[in-house]
């Protein structure tokens, strides 16, 4: 499905040493710093490892997040901010802003940014990360990944794409046409909602992504009208069925045109090729044959008048809707005890990376070039 889904690039980040010379005042404190450095580097490697599985990614992210929380959670029994929260500077790029990084000296910024990248890697899991974003001292700038509109668009897109799997499964198992129509209509609405979420962002960073969301909206509206037409025909409403299928044909043509516009639009991310996929092409053929059947039966049997307006779709799926998987941080690492925490002395040593003359470069993430598997239409393994 590599050519079916649009993917924005992963976020890139500068290396972080966690070298707090003088501040870490015990072997246990130094071990936490060393483990933070190695587990962060390990997690970043997983983003570009083509053999990484969801289980490996979860283990790698859990180990790092459990340690990082030692710089965020209160460990001294008070309600004050963790004294280590603002000691380290972090740099991250954004998925829509090219290779221009933003920086914050805040462990919460690191947690939200890294968790965002993990969510993008999972692709179809709409993990709710906003709970940590309001804690940031510096609010996210317009168009940055942690800005609410961008976060919401990713979450809604993930829900829509997860639901696509449900639709494909329903078609494969030959479920009732009314259920497939309802699922397709709900999915189209998800894509429309994601598109509208981005409509106030700068076009140069959002246009390509929005074209993808729009083409998917019209594609699934075509599916909804097509299968709704089948439902109407089964109820002997042949005239309304024809009009529904004509609207499906119109939506499908619009989806084809948007596919071309999407390929020609410049912007971040990979370029999907949905119009070349069997799942896309089969719908066009299905609409054509079903419409011809309805017109033929109307000419011989029903003699119904075809309405001027398409039917109003007010479809609700009774089951099969995708639900986001809640995002939960792992427990605090057992290394991060109040006793070890007390050995970090901020009055000693360099307090941040700004004291260092060398600026760490943020290099783009070189994602693995995964070859798409043979297209099988909507058959799921």
Indicate which CATH number applies to the domain containing 105: 1.25.40.280
Q: How many domains in the chain?
A: 2
Phi, psi of 102 (to 5 degrees): -115, 155
**In a domain? residue 152:** no
**In a domain? residue 380:** no
**In a domain? residue 245:** yes
Question: 269: domain range?
Answer: 173-301
**In a domain? residue 161:** no
Confidence band for 350, pLDDT divided at 50, 70 and 90: low
Q: Are residues 76 and 180 in the same domain?
A: no
- Using the predicted structure, report yes or no on whether residue 98 has a pLDDT greater than 90: no
Average pLDDT, the chain: 87
- Residue ending a domain, choose from 286, 301, 316: 301
Tokens at residue 121, please? 């890697």
Average pLDDT over residues 56-84: 91
The confidence score (pLDDT) of residue 320 equals 66
Give the Cα separation of 217 and 191 in Å (integer).
5
Average pLDDT over residues 63-71: 97
**In a domain? residue 363:** no
Q: What is the pLDDT of residues 269-279, one digit of tens each?
A: 878 889 999 99
**In a domain? residue 146:** no
Q: Are residues 235 and 343 in the same domain?
A: no
Q: Are residues 22 and 105 in the same domain?
A: yes
Q: Are residues 205 and 99 in the same domain?
A: no
Sign, Cα dihedral of 186, 189, 193, 194 = positive
Cβ–Cβ < 8 Å for 138, 104: yes
Confidence band for 38, pLDDT divided at 50, 70 and 90: very high
Q: Are residues 191 and 296 in the same domain?
A: yes
Give the Cα separation of 222 and 244 in Å (integer).
9
Q: Are residues 192 and 296 in the same domain?
A: yes
Q: Are residues 264 and 337 in the same domain?
A: no
Give the Cα separation of 81 and 88 in Å (integer).
15
Cβ–Cβ < 8 Å for 56, 122: no
Q: Which of 28-42, 89-103, 355-369 has the lowest mean pLDDT?
A: 355-369
Q: Are residues 117 and 200 in the same domain?
A: no
Higher per-residue pLDDT: 104 or 54: 104
Confidence band for 132, pLDDT divided at 50, 70 and 90: low
- Using the predicted structure, report yes or no on whether residue 375 has a pLDDT greater than 60: no
Average pLDDT over residues 116-121: 90
The confidence score (pLDDT) of residue 371 equals 55
Q: Are residues 178 and 289 in the same domain?
A: yes
Confidence band for 79, pLDDT divided at 50, 70 and 90: confident
Q: Are residues 267 and 343 in the same domain?
A: no
What pTM value is reported for the model? 0.79
Q: What is the pLDDT of residues 11-37, one digit of tens each?
A: 999 999 999 988 999 999 999 999 999
Q: What is the pLDDT of residues 134-176, one digit of tens each?
A: 777 787 787 889 898 999 999 899 889 989 989 999 999 999 9
Q: What is the pLDDT of residues 177-192, one digit of tens each?
A: 999 999 999 999 999 9
**In a domain? residue 110:** yes
Q: Are residues 291 and 184 in the same domain?
A: yes
Q: Are residues 108 and 210 in the same domain?
A: no
The confidence score (pLDDT) of residue 326 equals 76
The confidence score (pLDDT) of residue 358 equals 62
The confidence score (pLDDT) of residue 261 equals 96
The confidence score (pLDDT) of residue 304 equals 93
Average pLDDT over residues 346-370: 67
**In a domain? residue 49:** yes
């Amino acid at each position: 499905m590599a050519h079916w889904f649009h993917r924005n690039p992963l976020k890139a980040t500068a290396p972080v040493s966690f070298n707090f010379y003088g501040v870490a005042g015990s072997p246990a404190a130094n071990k936490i710093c060393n483990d933070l450095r190695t587990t962060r580097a390990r997690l970043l490697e997983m983003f570009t490892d083509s053999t990484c599985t969801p289980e490996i990614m979860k283990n790698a992210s859990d180990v790092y997040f459990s340690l990082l929380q030692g710089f965020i959670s209160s460990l001294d029994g008070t309600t004050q901010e963790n004294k280590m929260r603002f000691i380290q500077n972090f740099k991250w790029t954004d998925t829509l802003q090219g290779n221009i990084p933003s920086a914050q000296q805040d462990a919460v910024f690191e947690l939200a940014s890294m968790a965002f990248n993990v969510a993008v890697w999972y692709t179809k899991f709409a993990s709710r990360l906003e709970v940590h974003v309001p804690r940031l001292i510096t609010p996210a700038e317009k168009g940055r990944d942690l800005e609410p509109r961008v976060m919401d668009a990713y979450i809604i897109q993930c829900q829509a794409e997860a639901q696509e799997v449900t639709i494909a499964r329903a078609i494969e198992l030959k479920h009732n046409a009314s259920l497939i129509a309802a699922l397709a209509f709900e999915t189209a609405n998800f894509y429309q909602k994601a598109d509208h979420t981005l409509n106030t962002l700068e076009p140069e960073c959002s246009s390509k992504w929005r074209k993808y969301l729009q083409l998917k909206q019209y594609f699934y509206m075509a599916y909804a009208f097509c299968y709704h037409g089948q439902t109407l025909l089964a109820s002997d409403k042949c005239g309304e069925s024809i009009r529904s299928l004509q609207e499906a044909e119109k939506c499908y043509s619009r989806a084809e045109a948007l596919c071309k516009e999407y390929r020609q639009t410049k912007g971040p991310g990979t370029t999907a090729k949905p119009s070349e996929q069997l799942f896309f092409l089969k719908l066009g053929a299905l609409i054509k044959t079903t419409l011809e059947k309805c017109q033929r039966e109307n000419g011989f049997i029903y003699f119904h008048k075809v309405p001027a307006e398409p039917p109003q779709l007010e479809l609700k799926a009774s089951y099969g809707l995708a639900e986001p998987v809640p995002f939960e941080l792992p427990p605090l690492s057992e290394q991060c005890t109040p006793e070890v925490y007390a050995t970090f002395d901020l009055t000693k040593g360099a307090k941040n990376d700004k004291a260092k003359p060398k600026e760490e470069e943020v290099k783009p993430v070189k994602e693995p070039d995964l070859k798409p598997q043979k297209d099988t239409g909507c058959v799921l393994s």
